[in-house]
């Protein structure tokens, strides 16, 4: 299995001697396909970002979304971040993501270590309990009734606790911990270290990369979570960013901002075009993902493969 994980772009050597040079058409076709992939993914993101920072004049001339840069303005961000629903939602999302990720990562790492020692008491039945959750989901209605009966409706904990443990992440992390050489842990044990100490002083520092990836998975899940909020939060003042995105940007309900109300269906504020306000909110929803992504992406392959093989 470990051989599989060694795929971090090791095929970088020059073309092997036995491999004939591809035809010109083949080369062009390949380059075009690759370019197409990149453009299809990046072009919409480019449009969104550009429109969010374009001047009203540029937006009016383009008739909405801007393709060619023509004057910049950050008025949309001032409008959105100056007050109103988006600011509140951003704060909620940031808090839920931070607290949730910390809790999820801590509990998942502890359980992953607890289940990673071969021959330990009950580790098989407990692992089985985790793995079996892959086979079926509980369904939204019983979940809703449970959260309801726990009194968590309209509580921020309803955005965290029901999805706090991802069995997939647990299994991936466990696989990482099991790959730590047993001798390292054994020698610590012989020197009298308890499992708590080994976990804290030895296993965690050795697994920083894995923890970063799992942390990213959790953080992205919390940041992107929309349905929990739809289901469990009736009070729109408590909405996280994704709910705001859906209600005001996707569905176009009038949105309260710093200096008034932006109504995407009709005329907006004179100073700031509705389009750029919409795009600014989209960018705000993308930024955290785009900001963390470069630091963790190189560990993806390992994580996903181990998870896929184990799961």
Partner 1 sequence: MRSETRPVSAPDASSGAGTGPAPPAAKKSKKQTEPKVPFRARLRRDWQLLVMTLPAIGLLALFHYVPTFGNIIAFQDYSTVDGILHSPFVGFGNFAYLLSEPAFWRAARNTVAITSFQLVFYFPIPIAMAILLNSVLGKRTRAIIQNVAYLPHFFSWVLVITIFQDMLGGAGLLGQFFTQHGVDGVDLTTNPDTFIALVTAQTIWKDAGWGTIIFLAALSTINPNLYEASAVDGASRWRRLWHITLPGLRPVIILLLILRLGDALNVGFEQFLLQRGAVGANAAEVIDTYVYWLGLRTGDYSIGAAASLLKGVIGLVLILVANRVAHKLGEQGIYQRT
Q: Which of residues 260-279 bind partner 1 (CB under 8 A)?
A: 278-279
The residue count for binding partner 1 (CB under 8 A) is 117
Q: Report d(CA 282, CA 242) in Å as an integer.
A: 10
- Residue among 114 and 260 whose Cβ is closer to partner 1: 114
| H helix intervals, the chain | 24-52, 56-62, 75-81, 85-114, 123-132, 140-149, 167-178, 182-190, 195-197, 204-206, 208-224, 227-232, 241-244, 274-296, 300-310
Is position 218 an interface residue for partner 1 (rule: CB under 8 A)? no
Taking alpha carbons only, the member of 229, 246, 226, 249 closest to residue 237 is 229
Does the footprint of partner 1 cover residue 128 (CB under 8 A)?
no
By CB under 8 A, is residue 71 in contact with partner 1?
Answer: no
Verify binding: residue 178, partner 1, rule CB under 8 A: yes
Query: Considering the rule CB under 8 A, would residue 205 count as an interface residue with partner 1?
Result: no
Tokens coding 18: 């036995």
Closest distance to partner 1 from the beta carbon of 194 (Å): 6
CB of 114 to partner 1, least distance (A): 3
Q: Exactly one of 81, 87, 153, 167 binds partner 1 (CB under 8 A); which one?
A: 167
Interface with partner 1 by CB under 8 A: which range of 59-67, 74-82, 204-212, 255-263?
Answer: 59-67
87 versus 220: smaller Cβ distance to partner 1? 220
Please choose, from the candidates 205, 192, 46, 45, the residue with its C-alpha nearest in 3D space to the C-alpha of residue 113. Answer: 205
Near partner 1 in 84-103, by CB under 8 A? none
Q: Specify the residue, 118 or 205, whose C-beta has the smaller distance to partner 1.
A: 118
Question: At a CB cut-off of 8 Å and minimum separation 6, what does 95 contact?
Answer: 156
Asked whether the beta carbons of 80 and 257 are under 8 A apart, the reply is yes
Distance CA 165, CA 305 (A): 20
C-alpha atoms less than 13 angstroms from C-alpha of 213 in its C-beta half-sphere: 20
212 forms part of the interface with partner 1 (CB under 8 A): no
The reply on whether position 28 binds partner 1 by CB under 8 A is no
Among positions 219-248, residues that touch partner 1 (CB under 8 A) are: 220, 223-227, 231, 242, 245-246
């Amino acid at each position: 299995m470990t051989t599989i994980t060694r795929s971090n772009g090791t095929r970088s050597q020059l073309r092997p001697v036995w491999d004939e040079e591809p035809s010109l058409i083949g080369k062009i076709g390949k380059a075009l396909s690759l370019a197409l992939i990149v453009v299809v993914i990046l072009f919409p993101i480019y449009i969104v970002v550009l429109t969010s920072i374009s001047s009203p004049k540029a937006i009016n001339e383009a008739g909405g979304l801007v393709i060619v840069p023509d004057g910049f303005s950050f008025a949309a961000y001032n409008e959105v971040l100056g007050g109103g629903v988006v600011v509140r939602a951003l704060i909620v999302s940031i808090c839920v993501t931070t607290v949730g990720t910390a809790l999820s990562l801590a509990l998942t790492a502890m359980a992953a270590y607890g289940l990673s020692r071969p021959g330990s008491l009950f580790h098989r039945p407990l692992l089985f309990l985790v793995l079996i959750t892959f086979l079926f989901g509980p369904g939204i209605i019983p979940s809703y009734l449970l959260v309801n009966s726990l009194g968590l409706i309209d509580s921020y904990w309803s955005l965290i606790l029901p999805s706090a443990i991802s069995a997939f992440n647990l299994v991936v992390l466990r696989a990482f911990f099991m790959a730590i050489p047993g001798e390292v842990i054994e020698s610590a044990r012989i020197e009298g270290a308890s499992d708590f100490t080994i976990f804290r002083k030895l296993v965690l520092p050795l697994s920083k990369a894995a923890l970063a990836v799992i942390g990213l998975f959790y953080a992205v899940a919390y940041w992107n979570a929309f349905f929990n909020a739809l289901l469990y939060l009736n009070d729109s003042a408590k909405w996280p960013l994704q709910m705001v995105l859906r209600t005001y940007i996707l569905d176009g309900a009038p949105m309260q901002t710093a200096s008034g109300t932006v109504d995407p269906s009709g005329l907006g504020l004179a100073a700031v075009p509705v389009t750029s306000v919409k795009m600014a909110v989209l960018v705000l929803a993308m930024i955290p993902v785009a900001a963390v992504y470069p630091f963790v992406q190189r560990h993806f392959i390992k994580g996903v493969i181990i998870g896929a093989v184990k799961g």
